[in-house]
Amino acid sequence: MEYRVIKNNDVFLMTDRHGDAVGGDSPNGLYMRDTRFLSRLELKLNGKRPVLLSSAADDNYVAAFRLTNEHMEENGELRLWRESVEIVRERFIYNDVLYENVSMTNFSTRTVAFELEVRLDADFADMFLVRGFQPSERLGRITARETDRRHWRAEYVGCDGIRKETVVAWDAEADEANENGEVRFAVTLAPAEAKRIRFTVAPSIDGAKPAVAEPDKALAELRKSYEQWRNGKTKVASDNPVLDSLFERGVRDLQALLSDFGYGPFPVAGLPWYAVPFGRDSLIAALQMLPLDPATAKGTLRMMAAWQGEETNPWKDEQPGKILHELRSGELSKSGQVPFAPYYGSIDSTPLFVLLAAEYAHWTGDLETVRELMPNIERALEWIDSYGDRDGDGFVEYYQESSKGIANQGWKDSADSVVHEDGSFAAAPIALVEVQGYVYQAKSRLAPIAERLGLPELARRLAEEAERLKQSFDRAFWMEDERFYAIALDADKRQVRSVTSNPGHLLMSGILSEERAKAVADRLIAPDMFSGYGIRTMSRLSTGYNPMSYHDGSVWPHDNSLILLGLSRLGFVSAAAALAGALIRAAEKFEYHRLPELFCGYDDSLGYPVSYPVACSPQAWAAGTSVVLIQAMLGLEADAPAGRLTLRPWLPEGVNRLTAADIPVGRGHLSVELTRTREDSQVEVRILANTSGCRIETAEPARAKED
């Protein structure tokens, strides 16, 4: 990873591997609410950039950079012998304040003197501007820059009328500081002497300034909050160190990506570009997190309900009952130059909202939260059946109405992601294959919950609608010659006959017959789809395939995780084990064993997965894949309202023992140990603890389906 990023709640800092944000065209900086409050944070020694020794941000909330000086001579005279001074930059974010310690130690045998320079700037750029968007109107302006020897300050008033401010302070008097953000310290160090300068960066909006705490106390409180959250969550231990590391990394990343917008814990989509509320991404991440932290699903549902569409607004692609796609709060959104405050151009957020509500109820038995959300759920169901199904054919389809919205409104939202055999792009309205599966799963899984809530008429209607969809779906989407499903139907109801990963999501939904599910599973792990590191987004044999593309041949971990859930649920153990093993092997090659947003779809014969150059990392639903891996291996399904848990365990090659402890499910927790027997490679299950209030049914996976 060519950048280092740390985040806490609504603030994140992205720098290069040296720890610098250098200004100019670099996207690095300190961000809060879609605004870059610090565009330059650069350290120099005697006017030169220090030499990088190491850097790490593996804790997500703390980063450390170890540097030293190069050899320095001037006019033939020695200024500083190489590697004389060690510089350590340690930083963290707490309660919307960035804290940075710069420690300098003299490791030479002589007293050294040098100039430490810190360069600062704040451009207050909207995230859309950083990403290259051209504004249609004039922007705001910087109204003040001021400094003294203890602080530097900049102020900005946007075209939306909102005032923003950045204040940088330090605890040692500078020898020189100016309004341009150039701060210089003359440092003298005796042999073995160390000195430290502490900096704080406090961003604020309309005068709501964060409280700057004593740094050591702030760091202690930050560590304590992270440890408390982690201590109450699922623990995993196995005989495969990569799996253990992958799981722990995913959990830590999910924790870092949680924010609270007033409704409870909520996973933002990913860093650096999508540290904001999303519909689809956040809902799927919350679904993945059910075996880790069901409270995140609850907070996500409440957040989505609070921002549910209320009117017909083509500029925002909004209709009553629709769940948002993306919520931005920067200057361009607030001033109406882009339609993202919020924007509703997502075809799958609304069915995923209903689906998550149903799965949350099954997992936890918390019917009261679903009862509280029922008005929002019923409005979402009404949107699915009316606005979602534009032509009344029983399928949900999308069509972009906003002039600055998104054309393709499924999870593969790039312009070239829905392509015909002849290479032409499908015309909207477009009905995506996986979305029909989401609708089916949402309705069929919600029906028994509605029954328990005393809504028998709604339960009956949902079950009937789900069955009608199941009957019509197969006729419309099945490609007999490919023994697979088309990615979509276009505006003329023609099949878009690309072979893609999208139909893999159907496996978890229940919409497929056993025969069709078997055909889908077989194709997904065939060589044209399976790279050895995961399932590609598009077959190598399809028109448009490109292993370097964003959606047409790459591998997305979250995509694979939803497929894995379905493979495990339906008992396709060989395919599930192959896929789980592939993801573990991929993670082994990435920094921190972290699965990124996506990687290229090259075959594993290369010996390593090829990185996608601008993938988000960490990214919520990529991190959530680590949790799904454990759920899938356990074969854990919950029907907490009925007081029943089901285990259908299996283990992939390279994993012979797995313990999952303190899984939150039902009214308590479950701890399970799986062990592969040497005699017949079967998996034995031992229940270590069960306070869920549910009885446990243990069954062998339905291997017969693979015959």
> Can you give the residue range of the structural domain that contains 192?
3-224
The b/e string for 367-398 (b: 16+ C-beta within 10 A; e otherwise) is: eebbbebbebbebbbebbbebbbeeeebbbbb
> Are residues 161 and 301 located together in one domain of the fold?
no
Share of the chain above pLDDT 90, in %: 93
> Are residues 168 and 295 located together in one domain of the fold?
no
> Are residues 237 and 220 located together in one domain of the fold?
no
Q: What is residue 447's predicted lDDT score, i.e. its pLDDT? A: 98
Q: Is residue 568 part of a domain?
A: yes
> Are residues 390 and 357 located together in one domain of the fold?
yes
Nearest to 698 by CA among 680, 672, 676, 659: 672
> Are residues 219 and 236 located together in one domain of the fold?
no
Q: Is residue 661 part of a domain?
A: no
- Structure tokens given for 574: 């060989």
Q: Is residue 689 part of a domain?
A: no
Give the model confidence (pLDDT) of 661-675 as tens digits: 999 999 999 999 999
Q: Which CATH number fits the domain that encloses residue 486?
A: 1.50.10.10
Q: What is residue 213's predicted lDDT score, i.e. its pLDDT? A: 96
The mean predicted confidence, pLDDT, of the chain is 96
> Are residues 280 and 218 located together in one domain of the fold?
no
Per-residue CA distances from 54 to 4, 105, 272 (Å)? 12, 16, 22
> Are residues 160 and 188 located together in one domain of the fold?
yes
Identify any residues that bridge with 686 across adjacent strands, giving them in sequence order. 673
Q: Is residue 68 part of a domain?
A: yes
Boundary-marking domain end, from 647, 674, 699: 647
Q: What is residue 678's predicted lDDT score, i.e. its pLDDT? A: 76
Our count of domains for the chain comes to 2
> Are residues 185 and 264 located together in one domain of the fold?
no
Q: Which CATH number fits the domain that encloses residue 30?
A: 2.70.98.40
Query: Which three-class secondary structure state does DSSP give residue 30?
Result: strand
Give the model confidence (pLDDT) of 480-511 as tens digits: 999 999 999 999 999 999 999 999 999 999 99
Give the model confidence (pLDDT) of 305-342 as tens digits: 999 999 999 999 999 999 999 999 999 999 999 999 99
Share of the chain above pLDDT 70, in %: 99
Confidence band, pLDDT 50/70/90 cuts, at residue 703: very low
Q: What is residue 58's predicted lDDT score, i.e. its pLDDT? A: 84
Q: Say yes or no to pLDDT of 706 above 90.
A: no
Give the model confidence (pLDDT) of 31-75 as tens digits: 999 999 999 999 999 999 999 999 998 888 899 999 999 999 888
Q: What is residue 3's predicted lDDT score, i.e. its pLDDT? A: 87
Per-residue CA distances from 150 to 37, 146, 176, 177, 296 (Å)? 19, 11, 10, 9, 41
> Are residues 301 and 378 located together in one domain of the fold?
yes
> Are residues 215 and 277 located together in one domain of the fold?
no
Q: Is residue 703 part of a domain?
A: no
Q: Is residue 690 part of a domain?
A: no
Q: What is residue 508's predicted lDDT score, i.e. its pLDDT? A: 98
> Are residues 495 and 374 located together in one domain of the fold?
yes
Q: Is residue 557 part of a domain?
A: yes
Residues 168 and 147: their CA atoms lie apart, in Å, by 9
Q: What is the 3-state secondary structure (H, E, C) of 90-156?
A: EEEEECCEEEEEEEEEECCCCCEEEEEEEEEECCCCEHHHHCCCCCCCCCCEEEEEEECCCEEEEEE
Q: Say yes or no to pLDDT of 707 above 70.
A: no
Q: What is residue 680's predicted lDDT score, i.e. its pLDDT? A: 65
Quick one: 216 exposed, middle or buried, by C-beta within 10 A (0-12, 13-18, 19+)? exposed
287 contacts: CB under 8 Å, gap ≥ 6 = 297, 352, 355, 356, 359, 624
Q: Say yes or no to pLDDT of 424 above 50.
A: yes
Q: Is residue 622 part of a domain?
A: yes
Q: What is residue 704's predicted lDDT score, i.e. its pLDDT? A: 35
Q: What pTM value is reported for the model?
A: 0.96
Question: Alpha carbon 703 to chain centroid distance?
Answer: 33
Confidence band, pLDDT 50/70/90 cuts, at residue 381: very high
> Are residues 316 and 177 located together in one domain of the fold?
no
Confidence band, pLDDT 50/70/90 cuts, at residue 679: low
Q: What is residue 90's predicted lDDT score, i.e. its pLDDT? A: 98
Question: Alpha carbon 618 to chain centroid distance?
Answer: 6
